[in-house]
């Protein structure tokens, strides 16, 4: 790829990279539990998103695929959702390992979406497979390609809810000869030659995506950005942002009076609760006053 063209392409892009979503799960793996895929609370983060959340297939494994008690019950998925809604990305890539594949939506259905943009996504993946995966990569919907459906995944949320025009899952490495109990070998290159090949191939693959995807997105009208309703935040999120902004502008001592976030949330909730109770008492008093009035018949006696 021509370096001048590459530099001009990168100058027009904003790229945000989250190098590790599951920090606590990673610590469990590094401590010796090499097959652990869940977070520190035992939840599979790629089943904790809201699209088709909680649906269980016949082969559902409650240990392996624990979706959490509710969509976005986990802080990791909450952070990723907030990032996506604030950023409005045009391209989303969720990077996995375990096999070599280029997946597009859907994970919870055994088919790809309808429409021109879906065809453009598939065409882009075919180019990446030819140029960088050397025709080894499986292409298609996650649900239709791997032999099972996955519900509550990040890629389906990004495509269906955030309306990212191109949402992908890249499986960048897998050792098919490894035992299912040897998760380190199954998911990771074990020699420098293979490691460098994977690094070079997939770095180039991302550069190809950066080069081709904006052209294809610009040629096809795509769904409008996420609705304003999706951008509403909770009281806790509002207070977090408010206090962070005030603290950075005026200093914590002056504006926040050394009160912790938990105390401020508690006071705010008590204020709301007291307001509701006062309104209830006021309405009850009006209702009681009305019921004590004499009843006047509308029919002449």
Catalytic residues: 171
The dihedral region occupied by 251, where left means phi > 0, alpha psi between -120 and 50, and beta the remainder, is left
Mind spelling out the 3-state secondary structure of the chain? CCHHHHHHHHHCCCCCCCCCCCHHHHHHHHCCCCCCCCCCCCCCHHHCCCCCCCCCCCCCCCCCCCCCCCCCCCHHHHHHHHHHHHHCCCEEEEEECCEEEEEECCCCCCCCCCCHHHHHHHHHHHHHHHHCCCCCCEEEEHHHHCCCCCCCCHHHHHHHCCCCCEEEEEEEECCCCCCCCCHHHHHCCCCHHHHHHHHHHHHHHHHHHHHHHHHHHHHCCCCCCCCHHHHCCCHHHHHHHHHHHHHHHHCHHHHHCCCCHHHHHHHHHHHHHHHHHHHHHHHHHHHHHHHCCCCCCCCCC
Q: How far apart are CA 104 and CA 102, in angstroms?
A: 7
Rounded (10°) CA dihedral 26, 32, 33, 35: 80
Residues 6+ apart with CB under 8 A from 91: 164, 165, 166, 167, 168, 209, 213, 217
Q: Which residues pair with residue 94 across a beta bridge?
A: 169
């Amino acid at each position: 790829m021509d370096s001048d063209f590459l530099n001009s392409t990168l100058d027009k892009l904003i790229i945000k990279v989250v190098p590790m979503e599951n920090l606590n799960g990673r610590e469990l793996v590094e401590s010796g539990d090499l097959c652990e895929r869940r977070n520190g609370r035992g939840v599979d983060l790629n089943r904790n998103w809201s699209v088709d959340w909680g649906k269980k297939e016949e082969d559902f494994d409650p240990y392996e695929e624990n979706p959490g008690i509710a969509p976005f019950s986990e802080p990791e998925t909450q952070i990723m959702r907030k990032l996506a809604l604030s950023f409005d990305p045009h391209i989303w890539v969720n990077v996995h390992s375990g096999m070599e594949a280029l997946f597009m939506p859907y994970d919870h259905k055994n088919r790809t979406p309808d429409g021109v943009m879906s065809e453009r996504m598939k065409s882009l993946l075919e180019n990446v497979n030819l140029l960088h995966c050397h025709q080894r990569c499986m292409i298609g919907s996650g649900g239709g390609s791997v032999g099972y459906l996955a519900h509550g995944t990040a890629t389906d949320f990004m495509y269906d809810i955030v309306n990212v025009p191109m949402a992908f899952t890249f499986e960048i490495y897998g050792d098919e000869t490894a035992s299912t109990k040897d998760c380190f070998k199954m998911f990771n290159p074990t020699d420098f030659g293979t490691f460098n090949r994977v690094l070079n191939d997939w770095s180039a693959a991302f550069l190809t995506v950066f080069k081709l995807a904006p052209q294809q997105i610009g040629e096809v009208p795509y769904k409008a950005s996420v609705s304003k309703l999706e951008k509403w935040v909770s009281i806790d999120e509002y207070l977090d942002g408010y206090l962070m902004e005030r603290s950075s502008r005026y200093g914590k001592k002056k504006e926040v009076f050394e009160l912790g976030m938990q105390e401020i949330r508690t006071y705010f909730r008590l204020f709301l609760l007291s307001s509701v109770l006062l309104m209830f008492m006021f309405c009850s008093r009006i209702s009681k006053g009305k019921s004590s009035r004499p009843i006047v018949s509308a029919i002449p006696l």
